[in-house]
Each structure stands twice: as structure tokens, then as C-alpha cells.
């Protein structure tokens, strides 16, 4: 393997109580590894003693989960097929407990088995009464992920993220948002799990095809995680995730820093591709300047404008956001 020997570790701390985690990550814009942050969770103790599936059985609702299965030649990589016409895995429906017990009893399997984001409150209601991180006013989506020795290509998420290792060891390789071009993202609307991923094989990078990936590695950080560890991944940070053992279980928390009625930035990106993407380069660069001024540097853009005439440049609330959405919908519907 070419890394992580030369990649510096993520900033870490220990001795942080479960109920103190929210305060330690408040306002952060860089990753933080909290060693042993959830080591007192009963489900972590059950995993350490080899009884995780028995522990979860008391909460299981026997709801189906989506499985990703790939043959041994995939080497655990969840990716496209060789022709980029599909994927190198098969999707199937399965049972959470049965799949977990399969992984507990199948040591050394080289075939890939992976269960992605599965809502805890729906599949394992009550689990969080004794296994949770209090996040104050935030209302997170809490999910469970598990599999064997799998690796998920670098991608980013809009929400802030707390990743809590329950069983097995995990490795996160993280890149700041400004490395996007150096990670060579693939398609926005054709990808393994709904989010664009890096097209670089991190285990065997093709530097002739992806020369700028060297620059991405120069900005990378790595987090080596054990059961009970918690990793804070800020919004928009790219991260590759590897399961390093025959059984790896993770619980994560996603939450947004803005109300849901503000909409999704991804939608704005799609609309920009529709309305700006085909313009001549000089015009695209001009629009880039407008986005930089009115959106990215919003505070500077309005500092000289009195509050009462800022309009859309002011602070939107639920009502003004609804009016803006209606205006946009009307505009889109009138477009020939």
C-alpha cells in the first residue's frame, strides 16, 4: 500500500466524555479524532466481546436492508465496472441481523459484503437510549454501516458528520474541499451510492491519467480508528473510508447547519449546470465572479447596502424562502 505512511494524522484528543463531544466540535472547520469518545456505549462493549448481533437483536425490527456484494477480484473496492457502464457489485435486499451474523461467522472472506447508510431509529428503535451522542439543538440523521474489508472511494457530504466506530478498525483519508479538482470526481448523476466519487484508485493511482492527485495527497490527513473512537468530518470534506477487519460496524450522525427549508446546495449546482454550463468560457468566468461576490463573500457584498433594501441579499426566513422558491418554480415552468 502506498499510504498512509507519509500522510500526517488528523488532530486528535482523548479524555472527552460522550456528553462533551458537541462542545469540542462546535465551530470547527477541520477534522478531529476523539479517541474513546463512545467507548462506554453498551454496543461497543458487546462488539468487543463478540456479541454484537445478540445485543442488537433486542432492538431489531426485521426491516430489510440494502446489501452491496462484490466478488473477490474487486478487492473490497465499491466502484464502477471496467467499462464504466455499470458497477462492480450487485445490490440485493437482506436482513440486518442475518447479514451481521454472516459477517461475524465468516472470517477471512475475500468477497465483499457492505451495508451502507441504514437509519437506526427505523431499523433499531430504542438503540439510542443507551448508545447516543447528545447534539443539543441539532436533529441528526443517525445511521448504521457495516461490512467486511471494504473501501469506499473519496466523496463529500453536505452535512456535518460524526463517525463512531463500534466494531473493527477503520481508516479515513480526508482531503479539504479545495482539493476537489485534484481528486478527479466522476459523474454527478451516475455513481455507486448517490454521491460523486473520486475516480482515482487510491491503492494504485494512475499518475499519468490523474497527475494532480499527487497534490491532493500532499493536503491529505489520515485517521486510524479503533472501536470506541469518534471522528468529526466537517461539511464538504472529502473522505475515503476503509474497513480494515473482517467485521466493521460504524454509527454516524449527519446534521445540517441550516434549516431544511433553505433547500439543498446540490440543487443550485444542477441548475447552474443547466443555465450556465453551456455558456462560453468567458461568460462562465464572469458568472463565477458573481457567485464569488454575492454568495461566497456574502457579508462583504451587502455591507454597503441598508438593511431595508437588501431584499434577496438579506437574511432569508421560512416565508421569504418560500416566496423565492415559488418564483424559481414559476420561472422554470415558463422556460420553453
Q: Which residues pair with 217 in a beta bridge?
A: none
Residues 235 and 314 in one domain: no
Helix or strand or coil: residue 151? strand
Q: Is residue 185 part of a domain?
A: yes
Res. 108 pLDDT band, cuts 50 70 90: confident
Q: Is residue 5 part of a domain?
A: no
Residues 259 and 218: their CA atoms lie apart, in Å, by 35
For residue 51, count CB atoms less than 10 angstroms from its CB and return exposed for 0-12, middle for 13-18, buried for 19 or more. Answer: middle
Q: Is residue 3 part of a domain?
A: no
Has residue 91 got a pLDDT over 60?
Answer: yes
The number of domains in the chain is 2
Return the ∠ at Cα 273 (arms to 268 and 279), rounded to 5°.
Answer: 130
In this structure, the chain runs to a length of: 336
Q: Is residue 2 part of a domain?
A: no
Residues 169 and 264 in one domain: no
State which of 203, 229, 255 marks the end of a domain.
Answer: 255
Residues 79 and 208 in one domain: yes
Residues 76 and 174 in one domain: yes
Residues 33 and 140 in one domain: yes
Instruction: Please list, in sequence order, all residues whose beta carbon lies within 8 angstroms of the beta carbon of residue 113, skipping any fewer than 6 positions away.
Output: 67, 68, 69, 99, 102, 103, 147, 148, 150
Residues 264 and 326 in one domain: yes
Backbone region of residue 176 per phi and psi (left: phi > 0; alpha: psi in -120 to 50; beta: other values): beta
Q: What are the pLDDT digits (tens) for 23-33?
A: 999 999 999 99
Residues 118 and 185 in one domain: yes
The pTM (predicted TM-score) of the whole model is: 0.93
Mean pLDDT over 150-179 rounds to: 97
| CATH code of residue 149 | 2.60.120.650
Has residue 142 got a pLDDT over 50?
Answer: yes
Q: Is residue 323 part of a domain?
A: yes
How much is the CA Rg of the chain, to the nearest whole Å? 22
State which of 224, 255, 286 marks the end of a domain.
Answer: 255
Has residue 155 got a pLDDT over 80?
Answer: yes
Q: Is residue 43 part of a domain?
A: yes
Residues 150 and 265 in one domain: no
Q: What are the pLDDT digits (tens) for 190-238?
A: 999 889 999 999 999 999 999 999 999 999 999 999 999 999 999 999 9
Mean pLDDT over 173-187 rounds to: 97
Domain residues for the domain of 327 are 260-334
State which of 255, 286, 319 marks the end of a domain.
Answer: 255
pLDDT at res. 4: 56
Q: Is residue 226 part of a domain?
A: yes
Q: Is residue 4 part of a domain?
A: no
Residues 42 and 44: their CA atoms lie apart, in Å, by 5
Q: Which of 9-13, 217-221, 314-318 has the lowest mean pLDDT?
A: 314-318
DSSP H helices in the chain = 21-25, 42-48, 52-57, 96-105, 120-123, 213-218, 265-275, 281-291, 298-302, 318-334
Residues 30 and 172 in one domain: yes
Q: Cell triple for residue 102?
A: 454472516
Q: What are the pLDDT digits (tens) for 236-247?
A: 999 999 999 999
pLDDT at res. 1: 46
Has residue 320 got a pLDDT over 60?
Answer: yes
Has residue 169 got a pLDDT over 90?
Answer: yes
Residues 57 and 205 in one domain: yes
Q: Is the dihedral of CA 314, 320, 322, 324 positive or negative?
A: negative
CA nearest neighbour of 227 among 148, 174, 170, 147? 170
Residues 162 and 21 in one domain: yes
Residues 219 and 316 in one domain: no
Has residue 2 got a pLDDT over 70?
Answer: no
Amino acid at each position: 500500500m502506498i499510504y498512509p505512511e507519509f500522510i500526517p494524522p488528523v488532530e486528535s484528543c482523548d479524555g472527552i466524555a460522550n456528553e462533551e463531544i458537541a462542545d469540542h466540535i462546535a465551530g470547527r472547520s477541520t477534522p478531529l479524532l476523539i479517541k474513546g469518545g463512545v467507548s462506554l456505549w453498551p454496543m461497543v462493549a458487546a462488539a468487543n466481546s463478540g456479541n454484537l448481533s445478540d445485543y442488537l437483536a433486542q432492538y431489531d425490527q426485521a426491516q430489510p436492508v440494502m446489501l452491496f456484494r462484490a466478488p473477490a477480484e474487486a478487492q473490497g473496492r465499491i466502484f464502477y465496472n471496467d467499462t464504466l457502464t455499470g458497477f462492480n457489485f450487485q445490490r440485493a435486499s437482506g436482513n440486518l441481523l442475518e447479514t451481521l451474523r454472516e459477517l461475524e461467522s465468516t472470517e477471512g472472506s475475500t468477497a465483499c459484503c457492505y451495508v451502507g447508510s441504514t437509519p437506526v431509529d427505523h431499523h433499531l428503535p430504542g438503540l439510542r437510549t443507551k448508545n447516543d451522542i447528545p447534539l443539543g439543538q441539532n436533529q441528526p440523521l443517525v445511521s448504521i454501516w457495516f461490512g467486511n474489508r471494504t473501501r469506499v472511494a473519496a466523496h463529500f457530504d453536505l452535512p456535518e458528520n460524526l463517525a463512531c466506530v463500534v466494531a473493527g478498525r477503520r481508516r479515513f483519508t480526508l482531503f479539504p474541499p479545495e482539493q476537489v479538482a485534484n481528486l478527479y470526481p466522476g459523474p454527478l448523476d451516475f455513481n455507486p451510492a448517490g454521491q460523486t466519487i473520486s475516480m482515482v484508485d487510491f491503492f494504485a493511482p494512475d499518475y499519468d491519467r490523474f497527475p494532480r492527485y499527487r497534490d491532493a495527497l500532499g493536503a491529505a490527513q489520515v485517521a486510524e480508528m479503533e472501536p470506541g473512537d469518534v471522528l468529526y468530518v466537517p461539511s464538504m470534506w472529502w473522505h475515503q473510508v476503509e474497513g480494515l477487519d473482517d467485521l466493521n460496524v460504524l454509527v454516524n450522525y449527519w446534521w445540517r447547519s441550516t434549516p431544511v427549508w433553505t433547500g439543498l446546495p446540490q440543487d443550485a449546482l444542477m441548475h447552474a449546470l443547466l443555465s450556465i454550463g453551456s455558456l462560453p468560457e468567458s461568460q462562465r468566468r464572469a458568472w463565477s465572479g458573481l457567485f464569488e461576490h454575492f454568495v461566497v463573500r456574502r457579508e462583504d457584498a451587502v455591507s454597503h447596502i441598508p438593511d431595508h433594501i437588501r431584499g434577496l441579499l438579506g437574511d432569508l426566513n421560512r416565508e421569504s424562502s418560500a416566496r423565492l422558491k415559488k418564483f424559481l418554480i414559476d420561472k422554470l415552468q415558463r422556460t420553453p
